[in-house]
Amino acid sequence: MAVRKAPATVRRYVWSVATFHRAAAVANPCEALTVKLALKRMHRKQGHAQAAPLNDVLVARMLAAAGGTLRDLRNTALLTLSYVTLCRRSELVALLREDLEIESDGFGTVTIRRSKADQEGEGAIAAVTPDAMRHVRTWIDAAGIESGPLFRSMLKGGRLAGALDPGDVARIFKAMARKAGLTREEEARISGHSTRIGAPQDMVRYGAELPAIMQAGRWATPVMVARYTRRLTGRRSAAVQIADRRAQF
């Protein structure tokens, strides 16, 4: 599979095979040394490719290029909510209209009922900024959504269907990037995870502290924050600080 699939896709397939074997209470073939060595070879050859970040500059560019159709309104609401809440794609498509609370000061909140890191279903609350809330409110008012899935697929003629599939998130982001004039290479690296990478990078760039970033992304440890922001934090190394000070003299 590694010849034609991304490492993340291969890992997901292996995880699925392992899960089904454990559920059936039979020996897990993914524990075999041959499988583990094959995964290591794949990572040595291809590495852990990271999706391209969608930061505030790119998000603004994509919003500016969006049109005014009902589909466009849904897409802009999806993009802005994804960026400010750092939701995973599975969390985004699982949101219900009932999960959205609109505050009197223009802010809002969404209740994330279950996520990859919350298997017990305790839920989490994420804040929604006024700018994002305007896009979300425009979408739900235009679509007439009073209950049920917040983000829905659309049929011909603009008719609403069921909830979006997690895979739709990346396709929507890529389509918006293409419309905004990004290159094919840039578009190809965008995924449904791109806002979850770009948002913490912006937070670091604007001086947010690590605990606040972890809270925003609902990370229990700083590992993922460090991975997503390592290029930015590298610019804060002692060598860079010394070089900056020397340039002042």
Predicted pLDDT at 175: 95
- Torsion angle (degrees, nearest 10) of CA 213, 214, 216, 220: 180
Higher pLDDT among residues 118 and 220, named by residue: 220
Rounded Cα distance between 205 and 208, Å, is: 8
108 beta partners: 102, 128
pLDDT at 193 over 60: yes
pLDDT at 147 over 90: yes
Could you give the C-alpha distances from 209 to 110, 143, 197, in angstroms and in order?
A: 23, 38, 16
End-to-end CA distance of the chain: 56
Average pLDDT over residues 215-244: 75
Predicted pLDDT at 49: 58
Average pLDDT over residues 79-100: 95
- Which structure tokens are listed for 202? 């912006």
pLDDT at 85 over 90: yes
Rounded Cα distance between 145 and 5, Å, is: 38
Altogether, the residues listed in the chain come to a count of 249
pLDDT at 241 over 60: no
Residue 69: which region, alpha, beta or left (left: phi > 0; alpha: psi -120 to 50)?
beta
Predicted pLDDT at 153: 95
- Which structure tokens are listed for 203? 């937070």
pLDDT at 9 over 90: no
Higher pLDDT among residues 154 and 232, named by residue: 154
Q: What is the pTM of this model?
A: 0.77
Predicted pLDDT at 14: 92
Average pLDDT over residues 178-188: 92
The mean of the pLDDT values for the chain is: 88
Is the CB of residue 117 less than 8 Å from the CB of residue 218? yes
Q: Which of 17-31, 58-72, 118-132, 169-183 is predicted with the least confidence, judged by mean pLDDT?
A: 118-132
Average pLDDT over residues 141-162: 92
- Which structure tokens are listed for 120? 């017990």
Could you give phi then psi for residue 161, rounded to 5 degrees? -120, -150
Could you give phi then psi for residue 103, rounded to 5 degrees? -90, 160
pLDDT at 30 over 70: yes
